[in-house]
Amino acid sequence: MGREVASAVSRWCALEDVGVGCEITAVCDLQLSAREWFRKIPTIRLITADSAELLKRDDVDAVYVAVPHHLHEKLYSDVLKSGKDLLAEKPFGIDLAAARSIARQASDLKRFVRCSSEFPFLPGAQRVFALARDGQFGRPIEARSAFLHSSDLDPSKMINWKRQNTTCGKIGVMGDLGMHVMHLPLRLGWKPKRVYAQLQKIYHERPDGKGGMAPADTWDNATLHTDVVVKGDEIPLRLEMKRLAPGETNSWIFEVLGTDGGARFSTKDVKALWLFERGKEQSWRRIDLGFSTPFKTVTGGNFEPGFPDILQQMLAAFASERAGLLGDRFGCVTPKEAVESHEVFAAALQSHSQRTAVSLTETV
């Protein structure tokens, strides 16, 4: 992700209305091979394996940190105490206690902090979000937010830190994919009141790369059945986070249904916005979307965005909000929203353990 961020910042000139500049001035990574890649970025003045050396620099104003989850609390704290602002990777701490600690430090030290989540910056996601926010669907019926992967279907895929509780956290796949699923519901004010969770550990071990096998003890798939209040009505919101979803390479989905209409968007067909219309005859209508992102770019409207584009949009949102220039455009995940997502995941763990629906008040 560090290389993705550096690439997106290197294309900052493509943004036409962000109102603030951005450049990468320093990089820290423990791996020499990873550090060497950054030598091609001309604005970088420091490449180091020591994070403390980076945090001492006067030419670093904000720090993007992408590390295994068990390191979040310590490194995020180091950034904040150094007087820098922070763009944190999800899930904003290995567990709820860590997330609350990070958010509390950010508030106490008065630092600008946001958390990463790129997919809501896609044009289709923005359209569904706006329609739901403005109450365009009549009385709400239900909603679904999902992020689905399939690469873990391969049992020969080697173990890594995301597949072990000590480094990923007991929330497992919810920590890996959950912020992408929670961003829009929480921004709409749809914080779950109750959670009933179905969690799955499908492969219990994976090759360790040394000829043996290592335990894979995180949750692979998570389906959370939740209750949220929308326009005064309590409706079901289904949250899905899956590493083993057959046929889904990298599918992010957001769908909202009401009595008078509905909308559905999936990255499986990134140009398509599906709108449900209730008339004498009911129908789903497909709209072919172009390149219409929150921050205007040099790219023509007849093209379609990809991951590098929405990552740049997220970075633009971070930089512009930090400078007080966001206006009414869509922003990154706030510390409050990050903590709220952890509250949902903590309730999900409790729900699965007890095989019952859990009120969010029981985990707060």
Give pLDDT, residue 363.
57
**Does residue 342 carry a pLDDT above 90?**
yes
Residue 364 banded pLDDT, cuts 50, 70, 90: low
Average pLDDT, the chain: 95
For residues 336-352, give the mean pLDDT.
Answer: 97
The string of pLDDT tens digits covering residues 261-305 is: 999 999 999 999 999 999 888 899 999 998 999 999 999 888 888
Q: What is the mean pLDDT of residues 49-69?
A: 96
Q: Work out the average pLDDT over 38-42.
A: 93
Domains observed in the chain: 2-115 (3.40.50.720), 121-295+335-354 (3.30.360.10)
In the chain, % of residues over pLDDT 90: 93
Q: SS in 3 state form for the chain?
A: CHHHHHHHHHCHHHECCCCCCCCCCEEECCCHHHHHHHHHCCCCCEEECCHHHHHCCCCCCEEEECCCHHHHHHHHHHHHHCCCEEEECCCCCCCHHHHHHHHHHHHHHCCCEEECCCHHHCHHHHHHHHHHHCCCCCCEEEEEEEEEECHHHCCCCCCCHHHCHHHHCCCCHHHHHHHHHHHHHHHCCCCCCEEEEEEECCCCEEECCCCCEEECCCCCEEEEEEEEEECCEEEEEEEEEECCCCCCCEEEEEEEEECCEEEEEEHHHCCEEEEEECCCCCEEEEEECCCCCCCCECCCCCCCCCHHHHHHHHHHHHHHHHCCCCCCCCCCECHHHHHHHHHHHHHHHHHHHHCCCEEHHHCC
pLDDT in tens, 79-130: 999 999 999 999 999 999 999 999 999 999 999 999 999 999 999 999 999 9
Task: State pLDDT tens for residues 189-245.
Answer: 999 999 999 999 999 999 999 999 999 999 999 999 999 999 999 999 999 999 999
